[in-house]
Structure 1
Amino acid sequence: MAPPHKVQILEQTRVSPPLNSVPDASITLTYFDILWLQLNPVQVLFFYDHPLPTTQFRQTILPNLKNSLSLSLQLFYPLAGNLTLSQQTGNHEISYINGDSVSLIIAESDSDFYRLTANHARDVTEFHTLLPPLRSPSDAGKNPVLALQVTLFPDAGFSIGMSIHHTAADGSSITHFRKSWASICRSGGDLSVITSPPIIDRTVAKRFEQIQRNYFIEMEKINVKDRVKEFEVKKTDDQEVVRATFVLARSDIERLRQWVLARVEKPYRYSSFVLTYAYVWVCLVKLRKVVGERKVHVAFAVDCRARLDPPIPSAYFGNCVIGFFAELKASELGGENGLVVGSEAIRKAIQGMNEDVLKDAELCIPKLLSLSGELVLSVAGSPRFRAYDTDFGWGGPKKIEVISIEGTGAMSLAETRDEEGGVEVGLALPKHEHVDFASIFEEGLRVFK
């Protein structure tokens, strides 16, 4: 295990929208929201290379961060609310009452900032103290949907940690909030910089009530809590798990693309997402030595906003994603043409989604939970979110880590920071597997040269 390091809490506070700036609201969850009720929070860390001593940081950076957060919550007020049960309907909703707030922890760490922001393997436990708990003892009787922590590494940089209940927002909406907060902070508190404010009105997504009813029928057939626990990554107390970042440069992705195009009957446009996903899928099957007729799976969430008829506005705030799956025999994926068949399987799943994005939508989570015990590679994040463009006024992040992939076995995806067209892949693996995976990953790229 990694050597212990200290995180000292300097301040625990709460940040709310400006008083009386937002009316009380009860936001009924749609089908797209309730899909995530039973799943664990999304946890993300953004590291910023901005060397300041503690006193200067607290006097110059922190006040602007707090003020801009308050102004951002005026627009994105559901994030200051709580997940609760409606007394009128008995259904889940997000309730916002004037004065509701978000927990914000200010801390200081003695860890090595530059080691934490590197790509090499680091013990996952080193990151846990940089994340806020989503619920604290002071939240008795409440279920907050967002918590934040800013941790200073004196004279090196700082991190912004976010824990968010997926029921409140999908990746597109979380990105919208984060970049709006950054823009307001960068402008010194000018709300007019937000040219595309969030659309909170859930009525635009309420036309799928029959799918929602069918979903509840399907969920009643399974023991949800037990199945969720089965699906979580199991690790023993003495098992050291590390997280590392694997980079596919633009030239690497282009070589993968040309390799696939040379071996398919009908050429398609294979996106960086498809090629990266397929390549990591192949590497993981080789790592786990899965062979023969056994099925291996991928699962990914797709933004439905533009794919619905009529479409939902891109600024819609909440969830509007649905899960899609692809599967192959291990022998197919682990063979000489594994990258080709993997890319085709993912491409066809996406093509099917474009044809009918809500086909069997009510089976999305039941299908995922039914795969517990199987080899399933899912994905968190996307290069299209442009996470490295999140600039609060001191430049984009030095590094981004999706911490919640530890519990799901997913990989995280983001664009590369310093090169247009590259992709960063984040993985959390047992230490002994990491060494083997790194070897398989690098050796595979040499094959495609």
Structure 2
Amino acid sequence: MSTEQFPAGFEGRVRYTKAPGRSSVADTADVVGLVQEILREVQNRGDAAIREYSQRFDKADLDQFEVSAADRQAAVDALEKQTREDTEFAIENVRRFAQAQLGTIQPLEIEALPGLHLGHRVIPIERVGAYVPGGRFPLLSAPIMTIVPGKVAGCDEVVACLPPNAHQAMIAGCHLSGADRIFRIGGAQAIAAMAFGTESVPQVNKIVGPGNAFVNEAKRQVFGPVGIDQLAGPSEIFVVADSTGKPDLIATDLLAQAEHDVRTRVGLITTDEKLALATADEVQKQLETLSTAKIAAESWANYGEITLCADEAAMIAYSDFIAAEHLQVHTAEPREFAKKLRNYGSLFIGENASVVYSDKCVGTNHTLPTMHAGRYTGGLWVGSYVKIATHQWLDDSAVGLVAGPATRQSASEGLEGHRRAAAARVDRKAATFAALTR
């Protein structure tokens, strides 16, 4: 049984029916030091260090890291007809949604005061690195989610890295999604390669994509010199449900995520004790016939939880505290209930909206915030691949309006250089006017 305590404000309002055995947020202490070593070695020794870590962690000894044009095409040609059609269906849906999102991000020009012109431009990031997790299974949707929005955004170059032992179909997915370059490098060493650049791998401006604890920690440590989208992974799913929830359907969706990784966090938040107990029983029942039960059962035992809430208000408050990556709503009026929720990565409204549909092909991005980050950010989207950069220009009339306040404020702050710069345009114009009127 977990030693985790509910945060202040939830005492007496919620209780565990099934508590998590461990904390997914705290289970990273043994990762930090190793990631520091990997980043340092790759930064100092480049390809040689990548080769050593690829042999050590992936048992891969490659002559070259980059996937050649011929190998890219061979991977595409090797796809089964239906697999290719399904991949292209997903690519088109993700592209369509990203294009619609990009259409909402507009350049801006206003005249805030007479002669004072302010605005911003929407500028695609020049080079983006997309980490494509291989994991235990060939996640064919993974490259679509990180590469397609970058190409829609207009990035000059999207560089993809995926583990050297990733399924060949993953290379095909990267190619069909539009990756400009593809490298067989995985884990923290891939993040280091894209962040610092090596003899083979170009340095990128921003790194996007989910991964395991090592990838996540590497992204955290390189942030600054390069940008990152967010810390995404391991996966999470929570379901909020009232008495209308169906135990078998909820258990199915929880286990669908639990099979991702042994550190996946899954949970049910409900006001109905009967549903809570029935769902717990249903999870155990379905594990008996699930082919991936070895992974899912460990995830459920260590990080699974069922929380019983005193009322709807407590259920909403606790859900917002968790801020789950994937949040499913199984209530009597799901669309109305959804309006009351504010913290989540992506929201799945009604029992027809399975996380799996979004994971694969509906068009919304499956790279989402985890570990409570849904309290302050949303998931990966086309806007993650552009910069909103402001600009300004002033007519002579505007200088007369802003120079006085800027000069006085600078003087009040004791910043003489600022005061001089603020006054310089006014002084210059005054001197010019005096010379002309002599």
Could you tell me the TM-score, scaled by structure 2's length? 0.25
Rg larger for:
2
Bigger proportion of residues as helix: 2
Could you tell me the TM-score, scaled by structure 1's length? 0.25
Bigger proportion of residues as strand: 1
